[in-house]
Amino acid sequence: MTFSPESRPRFAPAELIRQPAFTALLALVLVFVLGLLFSGDGAFYKWGTHRDALRQASVYGILACGMTVVIISAGIDLSVGSVLALVAVCFSLFGIHWQWPAYAAIPLCLLIGAACGVVSGGLAARFGIQPFVVTLAMMVFARGLAKTVSGGMKVSTAIRTADGDYSYVEVPDIFRAIDSRLLDGNLSVVSLIFLVCVVLSWLCLARLRWGRYLYAIGGNEPAARLSGVPVAAMKMLAYGLCGLFAAVAGICQAAQEQQGDPEAGVGYELNAIAIVVIGGTSLMGGRGGIGLTLLGTLIIGYIEKILSINAVPEASRLMLTGAIIVAAVLVQRRKA
């Protein structure tokens, strides 16, 4: 039997149906059909609804991209919500209070997020502590740090002066820029940032040696180590990237709210994990990809949007989301 680089597997519909990408796509189509049926008095037919659905899901999506990279290495990062808050606070402090230019504030914020991730990853990989525990600790620590930096209050354009009064400053240009839209208002900048994150993490996972090593580590860590994969370093970088993306999400969040809230991002890590799981990436590691996470983000985003245009109360929305996550995981299990 010969194998040429051109030989592709034969087209087999039965095989295709068992691919996670197919299941996720099917779910997205299903959600779309639901949207067409329950269109909220025609709101679903308007382009603006779709633009907003994508914009509202973008921050979660950015977190989910980093989470995917970590989960594929058979890890988990619970600290992304807190890191998001920490960076949102820092970004507002640098940009609004201290009036730093964007080229100074943004790199420093990204560095803070990446550092949080590298610390978690380093502790998990070098000392063999479970990622769940390490990142749980980082989640608590980063939240505390966010409150310390902000003095426990929202960092906004209202600045308390020495005599107890508030003085108001202008919202910096960079905040406005991130919160704006492109292409005649048809694409939010935040959504564009999300798509850039998707492309970047796809390149990492699908094209870089590093990504291949992460799949190998998640799929069989002892075998990867015995094949010469530098396991600890690769894991540390994965958490670093996850922290970096949490920082990106924090910057976006701060720009959208025009303030840095130390209480922001509570529970976001769970949304990010839910998106990854619904997409079809295995929590056991070694299987999945960014494409699936993109689909997962759209599924969650559209469900939220459809529920909100139909004025479903938040309580029911939460319960429905929970049920949908379980359903998605059950479908995944049947395949495995």
Partner 1 sequence: MPLHADRPGPPTPVPLLRMAGISKSFGRQQVLREVCFDLRPGEVHVLAGENGAGKSTLMKILGGVHTDYEGHLELRGRPVRFRSPRDAAAHGVAVIHQELSLVRDLSVEDNIFLGREQSTLGWLRRGPQRRRAIDVLALLGVRLDVRRPVGSFSIATQQLIEIAKALALEADLLVMDEPTSALQGPEVERLFACIAGLKARGCGIVYITHRMEEVYRLADRITVLRDGNHIGTSPTAELPAPLLVRQMVGRDLSPAAAASAPTAAEVRLRLDGFTLRSAAGAARPVVQDVSLELRSGEILGLAGLEGSGNSALLWGLFGAHDGPAAGSVLLDGRPYRPTSPRKAIRHGLALVTNDRQRTGLVPALSVARNFTLASLPQLSPGGWVNQTAEYRVAAALAQALGLRAASLRQPVSTLSGGNQQKVVLGKWLNRNPRVLLLDEPTRGVDVGAKQEIYALMRQWSAAGAAILLITSELPELLLLSDRILVLHRGQVAARFDRGDATPERILHAAMGGQLT
Largest interatomic CA distance in the chain: 84
User: What region, left, alpha or beta, does residue 87 occupy, with left being phi > 0 and alpha being psi -120 to 50 degrees?
Assistant: alpha
2 is an interface residue for partner 1 by CB under 8 A: yes
Site membership for partner 1, residue 7 (CB under 8 A): yes
Q: Which residue has the tokens 């996670």?
A: 20
Region of 42-50, 122-130, 212-220, 297-305 interacting with partner 1 (CB under 8 A)? 212-220
User: Is 298 exposed, middle or buried (CB count within 10 Å of its CB: 0-12, 13-18, 19+)?
Assistant: buried
Kindly state whether residue 212 participates in binding partner 1, applying the rule CB under 8 A: yes
**140 three-class SS:** helix
User: Can residue 9 be called a binding residue for partner 1 (CB under 8 A)?
Assistant: yes
**Any contact of residue 222 with partner 1 (CB under 8 A)?**
yes
Of 306, 293, 305, residue with least CA distance to 65: 293
Amino acid present at 96: I
Interaction of residue 225 with partner 1, rule CB under 8 A: yes
For residues 229-268, which are near partner 1 according to CB under 8 A? 229-230
Closest approach of Cβ 19 to partner 1, in Å? Answer: 12
Contact region for partner 1 (CB under 8 A) — 194-202, 218-226, 289-297, 312-320?
A: 218-226
Q: Is 208 in the site for partner 1 (CB under 8 A)?
A: yes
Smaller CB separation from partner 1, 229 or 242: 229
Contact status, residue 298 vs residue 21, Cβ threshold 8 Å: no
| Residue 43 buriedness (CB in 10 A; 0-12 / 13-18 / 19+) | middle
Q: Is 286 in the site for partner 1 (CB under 8 A)?
A: yes
**Applying CB under 8 A, which residues contact partner 1?**
1-5, 7-10, 207-210, 212-213, 215-216, 219-220, 222-230, 286-287
